[in-house]
Amino acid sequence: MSGAVLEAEIESQPAEVEAFLTRHLAPMRALARGLRSCAYALVAARGSSDHAATYARYVLGALGGLPVAPAAPSLHTLYGTPPRMTEALVVGISQSGQSPDVVSVVEAGRRAGRPTVAFTNDLNSPLARAAEHAFDLCTGPERSIAATKTYTTQLAGIALLAAALRGEEAHFEELRRLPEAMARTLSGVAQHARAAGATLADESTLLTLARGVNLCTAEELALKLRELLRVFCQGFSAADFRHGSIALVSRGLPLLLVMPRGVGFADMQALAEAVTERGARLLTIGNEDATLPVAEVPEWLSPLVTVLAGQRLALESARARGLDPDRPVGLAAKVVKTT
């Protein structure tokens, strides 16, 4: 069947996240002790990695107490006017570790004497060399053009950093139970994804929506669906969506709502009712009643299970369209170097 490479990488994620956590838990705990005096985190990333940075906004804020500033890399590379980095923890996230703009932000942090952390899948990359503390993501290279396992291990890295900044044993315990919940999600969701994917085979537009910590999932799944299905798909915060973009919803438009149990659930339910009144067709990722049910995990870790359901949906929907998920049309290069 087409998409065998992508499917294998999707299925490998519980094991990859478990390996990541096992390898890096102790070093991250040790590192975090020296980071607690930082006032905020400055995070440089592009593409899928930028969605991991969105996740950081929530969990570094909620657990670590750190507001997150996404770096504007062009201030370093184009404008030559990098902002000061006083009090910053500087984080670079890049699968390849090659993107010069992400590297330049971490280099500037290093020069400024700030603590620098990198998450990358290549410890020999310029990003890994630039950072004082580099964490490798996976046990092997990612072969698919569409990032999956490097995205979830980036999330695991951010989650681990947040837990280590907080320093409470309960969070580490929740992390330890995560890979099993990821495996349970994948084994349960495949058939649902096949059925739901087939219903999207003729759609050319789609929106993804989430609230709070799962905003990263809405953004990441929108990118996966754009890459693999070539559909127009934008991810929205449910709160921002009400400020204008809800005008887009018309009869029959498919909306993918990421709404696991948690404090954002009631707000997503209210949104689901509002868009149903406008005639939207809903697909949901969430609890046992959802179109794509996922295992229940603590809310701060839910993006690591919700994204699995959506990856599987994108894979199956590409297959239903007769597209090869291992050869996305219009995407040749795995490594994109932007300055």
**Residue closer to its own copies, measured from CB, 139 or 245:** 245
Those residues with Cβ within 8 angstroms of residue 93's Cβ, 6 or more apart along the chain or in another chain: 43, 44, 45, 49, 50, 52, 53, 102, 118, 119, 120, 154, 157
Min. distance of Cβ 9 from its own copies in angstroms? Answer: 16
Contact 227, 144 (CB under 8 A): no
Q: In 3D, which of 27, 23, 24 has the Cα closest to residue 35?
A: 27
Q: Which long-range contacts (CB under 8 A, 24 or more apart) does 289-293 make?
A: 290/259, 291/192, 291/196, 292/189, 292/192, 292/193, 292/196, 293/188, 293/189, 293/192
- CA-to-CA distance for 245 and 249, rounded, in angstroms? 8
Min. distance of Cβ 7 from its own copies in angstroms? Answer: 19
Min. distance of Cβ 276 from its own copies in angstroms? Answer: 14
Min. distance of Cβ 300 from its own copies in angstroms? Answer: 9
Both tokens assigned to 322: 């007769």
- CA-to-CA distance for 301 and 217, rounded, in angstroms? 11
Q: In 3D, which of 301, 32, 36, 295 has the Cα closest to residue 173?
A: 301
Min. distance of Cβ 320 from its own copies in angstroms? Answer: 18
- CA-to-CA distance for 215 and 219, rounded, in angstroms? 6
**Residue closer to its own copies, measured from CB, 184 or 261:** 261
**Residue closer to its own copies, measured from CB, 25 or 239:** 239
**Residue closer to its own copies, measured from CB, 98 or 183:** 98
Q: Taking each helix axis as running N to C, give the angle between helix 13-33 and helix 169-199, from 0 to 180 degrees, rounded to the nearest 10.
A: 150
Helix (H) / strand (E) element for 45: namely: strand 40-45
- CA-to-CA distance for 285 and 80, rounded, in angstroms? 43
**Residue closer to its own copies, measured from CB, 240 or 288:** 240
Q: Can you give the binding site for its own copies, defined by CB under 8 A? A: 39-40, 42, 46-48, 50, 57-58, 60-75, 78-79, 81-88, 101, 146, 204-205, 211-213, 223, 226-227, 230, 232, 234, 239-240, 242-250, 263-264, 267, 278, 328-331, 336, 338-339
Contact 34, 115 (CB under 8 A): yes
Min. distance of Cβ 99 from its own copies in angstroms? Answer: 8
**Residue closer to its own copies, measured from CB, 175 or 223:** 223
**Residue closer to its own copies, measured from CB, 168 or 180:** 168
**Residue closer to its own copies, measured from CB, 69 or 123:** 69
- CA-to-CA distance for 208 and 264, rounded, in angstroms? 15
Min. distance of Cβ 192 from its own copies in angstroms? Answer: 25
Min. distance of Cβ 183 from its own copies in angstroms? Answer: 27
**Residue closer to its own copies, measured from CB, 189 or 209:** 209
Min. distance of Cβ 321 from its own copies in angstroms? Answer: 14
Q: Taking each helix axis as running N to C, give the angle between helix 4-11 and helix 13-33, from 0 to 180 degrees, rounded to the nearest 10.
A: 50
Helix (H) / strand (E) element for 293: namely: strand 292-293
